[in-house]
Structure 1
Amino acid sequence: MSQAIWSISSLVRYIKASLDRDMNLQSILIKGEVSNFTHHRSGHYYFTLKDNSSRISCVMFASNARRCPLQIKDGMKVLVSANVSMYEPQGNCQLYVLQVQLDGIGDLYMQLEEIKRRLNAEGLFSETHKKMLPEYPMNIGVISARTGAATQDVFTTIKRRWPLASVFFYPCLVQGKEAEADLIKTLKSADSNHHDCILVVRGGGSIEDLWCFNSEALARCVYQCQTVIVSGVGHETDTTLIDYVADRRAPTPTAAAELITPDRRDVSERVNVYRQRLQRSVASQLQQCTQAYNRIKANKLLSEPLNYIQNDAMRLAMDVQRLEKVVSMGERERYKLNQLFEAMSSSGRQLCLGNRHLLSQISIQLRHSVDAVSEARKLELKRSAALLDAFSPLKVVARGYSLTYDENQHLISSINDVKNDDLLKIRVSDGSILARVEGKEIINE
Structure 2
Amino acid sequence: MSSPVYTVSALVRYIKSALDNDMNLQAVFIKGEISNFTNHRSGHWYFTLKDAKARISCVMFSSYASRCPIMLKEGMKVLITASVSMYEAAGSTQLYVTKVQADGIGDLYLQLEQTKARLAKEGLFDPMHKKPLPTYPMSIGIITAKTGAAVQDMLTTIARRWPLAKVQVYPTLVQGSTASEQLIQVLQRADQNGHEVLLLARGGGSLEDLWCFNDEALARTVYQLKTVVVTGVGHETDTTLVDYVSDARAPTPTAAAELITPDRHEVLQKLTSMRQRMLQALRGLDQKSRSSLESMKNNRYLKNPLAYAERQKLQLAMMVKSLGDVENRVERSRHTLSLEARKLAYQAALLLQQTTRRNERIEKQMIDIMQEKTRVYKAQMAHQTALLDAFSPLKILNRGYSIVSKESIIRSVTQLQLRDEVEIRFADGRAIAQIENVKENDHE
Could you state the TM-score of these two structures normalised by the residue count of structure 1? 0.50
Q: Looking at CA atoms only, which structure, 1 or 2, has the larger radius of gyration?
A: 1
